[in-house]
Amino acid sequence: MDMKYKALELDLQDDGAELQEALLKLSGQKTVPNVYIKGTHIGGCDDTFAAKSNGKINHLLNIKSYDYDLIVIGGGSGGLAASKEAAVLGKKVAVCDYVKPTPKGTTWGLGGTCVNVGCIPKKLMHQAAILGESLQDSRHYGWETPESVQHSWSQLRDAVQAHVGSLNWGYKVALREKDVTYINGYTAFVDAHTIKTVNKKGKEQIYTAERFLIATGMRPRYPDIPGSIEYTITSDDLFSLPYNPGKTVCVGASYVSLECAGFLAGMGNDVTVMVRSILLRGFDQDMAEKIGSYMEKHHVNFIRKAVPTKIEMVKDGQPPTLRIHYKKTESGDESSIECNTILMAIGRDACTTDIGLDKAGVITNSKNGKIPTINEQTNVPHIYAVGDILQDGHELTPVAIEAGKLLARRLYNNSNRQCDYVNVPTTVFTPLEYGSCGLPEEDAVAKYGQENLEVYHTYFQPLEYTVSHREANACYAKIICDKSNNEKVVGFHVLGPNAGEITQGFAVAMKAGATKEHFDSTIGIHPTCGELFTTMKVTKSSGEDITPSGC
C-alpha cells in the first residue's frame, strides 16, 4: 500500500523475547506477524488480509487509499454508461474491458456485444436484407432494375466492420474526454476491494477501488456434441466472417437464430432453422408462430423438434462443407444435412465464472451464473452489477444503459431513481419485424385470468405492400387489455415493417398507463401502419373476421 512501516524482527532483537511477552499481555497474541496500525492491534497474517479486504486498514490509516472511486469491469452497454456518468459526476473511474477470442479466433474492440457482435451489425445486415426485398418491390414502382441482382457479402461485411470500427474509436475518445481510465485487460477480483488485470501480452496489474460495477455480459454457448467447437460459428463470428456463409443451418429458435436466419436468407442464402421446441420462448406464441410461417414462405426452412447430435467436416475451405447430424426429439429419428455454415444460437452464458467473484464474496445463481441484486446492488454492499448478467433483468442494450446510468446517479448524485424493468419494449428484427411491450397473451391470461381480459386484434396490409403485390395477411397487430382496470393496455404486439419504430412510441403510452379508450381517442396518422392501433375494434373473443379492408 506504499505506506511507511516499522518491522521489529524479534529473533534479531536482544530484547525480542521480552517484547513478545509484552505483546502477549497487550493483545493476547504471541505469534508473529503481530500487526499494529497507529496503536490499534490488527492481528496475524490472515487478520491483516481480512482487515485490508473489509476496509478496516484504510479506515485506520484515514487515507483515501483506493486507486479509484469506481472500477467498472466490462466496457459494454452497461459498463460504459455507468462509468461515463460517474466520471461526469466528478469521480475517479476506470473501465476494464477485454474480449476473449472466440474458438475461431474472432475478437473485437471496445463497446461490448451490442456494438461489435450484436444490435449494430445485426440491424445493418437486417437492413441489407430489407433492401434486397425492396429491390424486388421497386420493379412494381417503375424501377427497371435487372432481374438478377447480386449481393456481395464481403462488401457488406467491410462496410459494417468499418462502421463498428468507428464506434470503437468513438468510445475510446469519449472515455478519454471524460477522464475515465480505459484498462484493456482481462479482470478478476483478488479480494473485495482489489482486482487484477492481465493484458494480451500477459502483463498483470493490481488496482483497488472503493466500489465496483460488474458488467461483463454474456457469451454464446456451444452444445456438448462432437465437432461443435471446431466447426461451428456463433453470432460472435458471423458479422466479420471472411466468406459468404452460403448454405447455413441456424441452431436454436430464439432472437439470435431467427434474426440471423432472416437476414442470411434475405441475402439469397439457403437457410434452415433447427428448432428444439418452440419459436421465441417467452414471447407471445401467436406472434412467434406468425413470424415462423412468414419466414417459411420467404425461403427459410424449418426443422422442428430436432437437436443437433454431431458436426463433421466434409471438405475444408472458405466456406467449408460441413455435415450436421440431428435427432428428432419426439420420434428419435436421426438424419443429417450438408451445408457450409452452422450457426450455434442456443443461448448465452453469463461471464461470471472466472472473474474471482468468490474472492470478493459475491453470490451468483448456481443455475445460470447470473448475479442476484436488489436495485443492482449485490450481496457485497460496495459491489454492483448491471446488464445481461443481472438475474431477473432483460438482456437488452437500453436496459443495461439505463440501469448503469441511474446507478451512477444514485451513488454519486443523491438521486433515488431506480431502473424500471416493467413494460420494457423490444423488437425482434426478423424479416417481418415483431415489436412488443408488456405481457404476452399467455402471461396476461396467467396474471389476470382470461375472464378479465379483452384482446383486440387485426391483420393489416401496409399500403406499400399493395402496389408490390405482397401477401395480404402477413402483418398482424394485437393489444391485450385488462377489463378489470378500465381496459388498461397490458400487452402490445405488432408484426410488420418498422415494428420497432411503431412500438417505441406506444411504449411511452403504456408507461403513462394508457387504456383502450386512450388508444381510441388518439387520431391516427394516415396512411401508416401505426394508425391501426387507434381504430382496432374486433375482439379475439368475438371470432369475427380480421382480414384487412380499405381505408
Contact residues toward ligand NDP (CB under 6 A) are: 223, 251-257, 259, 276-278, 281, 307, 345-348, 395-396, 426-429
Query: d(Cα 407, Cα 412) in Å, to the nearest integer?
Result: 9
Confirm or reject binding of residue 387 to ligand FAD (CB under 6 A): yes
Which of residues 35 and 260 has its CB atom nearest to ligand FAD in the complex? 260
State the CB neighbour count (10 A cutoff) for residue 18: 11
Query: If contact means CB under 5 to 8 A according to the sort of partner, which of ligand NDP, ligand FAD, none does residue 113 touch?
Result: ligand FAD
Confirm or reject binding of residue 237 to ligand FAD (CB under 6 A): no
3-class DSSP state for residue 452? helix
Tell me, residue by residue from 308 to 347, as one string, x for binding to ligand FAD by CB under 6 A and - for no binding.
----------------------------------------
Confirm or reject binding of residue 397 to ligand FAD (CB under 6 A): yes
Is 526 a catalytic site residue? yes
Binding region for ligand FAD (CB under 6 A) out of 107-115, 155-163, 483-491, 523-531? 107-115
Which of residues 349 and 520 has its CB atom nearest to ligand FAD in the complex? 349
Which of residues 197 and 235 has its CB atom nearest to ligand NDP in the complex? 235
**Cα-Cα-Cα-Cα dihedral sign, residues 229, 235, 236, 240:** positive
Q: Is 376 exposed, middle or buried (0-12, 13-18, 19+ CB in 10 A)?
A: buried
Q: Got the DSSP string for 390-426?
A: BTT----HHHHHHHHHHHHHHHHS---PPP--SS--E
What is the phi-psi region of residue 173: left when phi exceeds 0, alpha when psi lies from -120 to 50, beta otherwise? alpha
Query: If contact means CB under 5 to 8 A according to the sort of partner, which of ligand NDP, ligand FAD, none does residue 278 touch?
Result: ligand NDP
Confirm or reject binding of residue 402 to ligand FAD (CB under 6 A): no
Query: If contact means CB under 5 to 8 A according to the sort of partner, which of ligand FAD, ligand NDP, none does residue 78 touch?
Result: ligand FAD
Task: List the strands of the sheet with 271-274, edge to edge.
Answer: 300-303, 271-274, 248-251, 341-344
Confirm or reject binding of residue 175 to ligand FAD (CB under 6 A): no
Confirm or reject binding of residue 73 to ligand FAD (CB under 6 A): yes
**Cα-Cα-Cα-Cα dihedral sign, residues 237, 240, 242, 248:** positive
The cell for 236 is 460472435
Query: d(Cα 539, Cα 546) in Å, to the nearest integer?
Result: 9
Confirm or reject binding of residue 76 to ligand FAD (CB under 6 A): yes
DSSP conformational letter for 308: E
Query: d(Cα 418, Cα 501) in Å, to the nearest integer?
Result: 26
Query: d(Cα 219, Cα 473) in Å, to the nearest integer?
Result: 37
Query: If contact means CB under 5 to 8 A according to the sort of partner, which of ligand FAD, ligand NDP, none does residue 387 touch?
Result: ligand FAD
Which of residues 82 and 396 has its CB atom nearest to ligand NDP in the complex? 396
Rounded to 10 degrees, the C-alpha dihedral 67/68/72/78 comes to -170
Q: Is 275 exposed, middle or buried (0-12, 13-18, 19+ CB in 10 A)?
A: buried
The one among 67, 69, 97, 433 contacting ligand FAD by CB under 6 A = 97
Query: If contact means CB under 5 to 8 A according to the sort of partner, which of ligand FAD, ligand NDP, none does residue 503 touch?
Result: none
Q: Which residue has the cell 494480451?
A: 200
Query: If contact means CB under 5 to 8 A according to the sort of partner, which of ligand NDP, ligand FAD, none does residue 216 touch?
Result: ligand FAD
Q: How far is the CB of 260 from ligand NDP (least distance, A)?
A: 9
Task: List the strands of the sheet with 306-315, edge to edge.
Answer: 306-315, 321-328, 334-339
Query: If contact means CB under 5 to 8 A according to the sort of partner, which of ligand FAD, ligand NDP, none does residue 245 touch?
Result: none
Site size toward ligand FAD (CB under 6 A) is 33
Confirm or reject binding of residue 187 to ligand FAD (CB under 6 A): yes
Active site residues: 526
Q: Which residues bind ligand FAD (CB under 6 A)?
A: 73-79, 96-99, 112-114, 118-119, 122, 186-187, 215-217, 235, 256, 351, 355, 387-388, 395-398, 400
